[in-house]
């Protein structure tokens, strides 16, 4: 475990500690732009890709989402930390914080949520996660929108006063997110089970490419037993679990590197096993159907992204976290090795592909997060759609 479970506490545990004289910190971007502030959390240097999230709430779920591995997250919400930290809302199965760093405007020094058990600062210190507060996040987010997500570093104390040219060189030396194969780094090392709640209807194999704990919990509430397996588990090993369906989770990194998972997807389709994917899983299914992928300028990250279902015409407000997308085919319908398929969902902000499906219904995916942790519940019926697909397959 990365964070110790505690009983609810009062007093000092719900008030953020502050270092004497406010230790200076600096965020340095790869293009030389510098944003100064003060340190909170761990007092060390960190590197990652600077990205921003437009979510107004849910920072605990964001920080513990494995899809944010190797990313320094900028919060557009002006105050962070006011809801503290609890033992229920973390999305990584081991409660680990995955963000490489956190950049905020204003740190709440007193927690005001009844569910809080400790402060954000205390959890970040316990997990050795770096933060910088007091940053002009409006200017920073505008810069990232204009120039795109890019490499960054947070430097603390004496390091923060080093020549900017030296710090920029250190930032530029880190590996790019393009071409990064990261799903295996965040995936489970062992197979584990999340049992169904109540009567069990089906068993699915869920590929952990960076899975959020809310996802198998959503299946469990619907009577589905999930066998969670590591990324790149060969298709041939699935037979021992007798799955009624296969699920591909969200996850970090460049989908162009996920050749092994693309091959698994193709074999699942060939075996006529119902397949459902979200986020990274959408990109894997898209690649299995012959589509390419590309890196977005600044990505989609937040819980307020509008997506239209091209089949029904319904618009959902969705939770998203991704920096890559599927290339748009020539038409909404396109041919694949497995028969005709179509683009089923499109982002209304930039018209990028947000969902694909085989016309025969045996495989479908979306680019967003129907488990809504954090986020709206508009897309939760997708879990029921997957169950309906398994119902039909069982006949």
Listing DSSP states for 259-286 in one string gives: HHHHHHHHHHHHTT--EEEETHHHHHHH
By percentage, how much of the chain surpasses pLDDT 70? Answer: 95
Q: Is 67 annotated as a binding residue?
A: yes
Q: What is the CATH class of 183-394? A: alpha beta
User: Residue 222: helix, strand or coil by DSSP?
Assistant: coil
Q: Is 324 annotated as a binding residue?
A: yes
Two tokens at 48?
Answer: 């990652």
Q: Are strands 315-326 and 333-336 parallel, antiparallel or unpaired?
A: unpaired
Q: Does residue 371 carry a catalytic annotation?
A: yes
Burial (CB < 10 A; 0-12, 13-18, 19+), residue 172, is middle
Q: Could you read off the pLDDT of 144-175 as tens digits, one per residue?
A: 999 999 999 999 999 999 999 999 999 999 99
Among 279, 300, 347, 354, which one carries the catalytic annotation? 279
pTM assigned to the model? 0.93
Q: Is 290 annotated as a binding residue?
A: no
Residues 217 and 239: beta-carbon distance below 8 Å: no
Beta strands, E only, the chain: 24-29, 34-41, 46-53, 71-75, 79-80, 101-103, 106-107, 130-133, 150-156, 192-194, 202-208, 224-230, 245-248, 275-278, 293-309, 315-326, 333-336, 339-347, 353-358, 363-366
Q: Is 294 annotated as a binding residue?
A: no
Q: Could you read off the pLDDT of 256-291 as tens digits, one per residue?
A: 999 999 999 999 999 999 999 999 999 999 999 999
Q: Which residues contact 50 (CB under 8 A, 6 or more apart)?
A: 27, 29, 71, 72, 74, 103, 140, 144, 149, 150, 151, 152
Q: Is 58 annotated as a binding residue?
A: no
* Ramachandran category for residue 232: left, alpha or beta (phi over 0 → left; psi -120 to 50 → alpha): left
Domain regions of the chain by residue span: 11-172, 183-394
Confidence of residue 12 (pLDDT cuts 50, 70, 90): low
Among 49, 91, 95, 371, which one carries the catalytic annotation? 371
Domains 11-172 and 183-394 share a fold: no
Q: Does domain 11-172 have CATH number 3.90.550.10?
A: no
Q: Could you read off the pLDDT of 183-229 as tens digits, one per residue?
A: 999 999 999 999 999 999 999 999 999 999 999 999 999 999 999 99
Confidence of residue 10 (pLDDT cuts 50, 70, 90): very low
Q: What is the mean pLDDT of the chain?
A: 94
Q: Does residue 369 carry a catalytic annotation?
A: yes
């Amino acid at each position: 475990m990365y964070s110790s479970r505690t009983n609810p506490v009062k007093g000092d545990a719900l008030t953020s500690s502050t270092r004497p004289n406010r230790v200076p910190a600096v965020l340095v971007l790869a293009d030389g732009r510098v944003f100064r502030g003060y340190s909170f959390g761990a007092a060390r240097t960190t590197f990652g890709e600077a990205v921003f999230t437009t979510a107004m709430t849910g920072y605990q779920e964001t920080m513990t989402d494995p899809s944010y591995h190797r990313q320094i997250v900028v919060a557009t919400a002006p105050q962070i930390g006011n809801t503290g930290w609890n033992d229920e809302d973390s999305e990584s199965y081991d409660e680990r914080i995955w963000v490489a760093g956190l950049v905020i405007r204003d740190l709440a020094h007193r927690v005001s949520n009844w569910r809080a058990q400790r402060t954000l600062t205390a959890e970040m210190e316990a997990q050795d996660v770096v933060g910088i507060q007091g940053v002009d996040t409006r200017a920073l987010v505008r810069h990232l929108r204009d120039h795109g997500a890019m490499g960054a570093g947070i430097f603390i104390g004496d390091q923060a006063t080093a020549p900017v040219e030296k710090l920029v060189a250190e930032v530029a030396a880190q590996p790019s997110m393009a071409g990064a194969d990261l799903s295996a780094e965040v995936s489970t090392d062992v197979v584990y089970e999340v049992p169904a709640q109540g009567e069990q209807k089906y068993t699915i194999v869920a590929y952990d490419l960076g899975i959020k704990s809310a996802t198998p919990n959503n299946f469990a509430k619907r009577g589905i037993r999930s066998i969670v397996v590591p990324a790149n588990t060969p298709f041939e090993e699935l037979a021992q679990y007798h799955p009624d369906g296969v699920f591909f989770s969200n996850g970090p990194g460049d989908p162009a590197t996920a050749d092994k998972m693309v091959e698994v997807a193709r074999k699942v389709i060939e075996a006529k096993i119902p397949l459902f994917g979200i986020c990274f899983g959408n990109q894997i299914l898209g690649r299995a159907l012959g589509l390419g992928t590309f890196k977005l300028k600044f990505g989609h990250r937040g819980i307020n992204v509008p997506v239209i279902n091209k089949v029904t015409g319904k618009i959902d407000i969705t939770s998203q976290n991704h920096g890559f997308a599927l290339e748009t085919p020539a038409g909404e319908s396109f041919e694949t090795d497995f028969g005709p398929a179509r683009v089923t969902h499109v982002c209304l902000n930039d018209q990028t592909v947000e969902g694909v499906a085989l016309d025969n219904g045996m495989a479908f995916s979306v680019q967003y997060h129907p488990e809504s942790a954090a986020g709206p519940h508009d897309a939760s019926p997708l879990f029921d759609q997957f169950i309906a697909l398994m119902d039909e397959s069982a006949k």
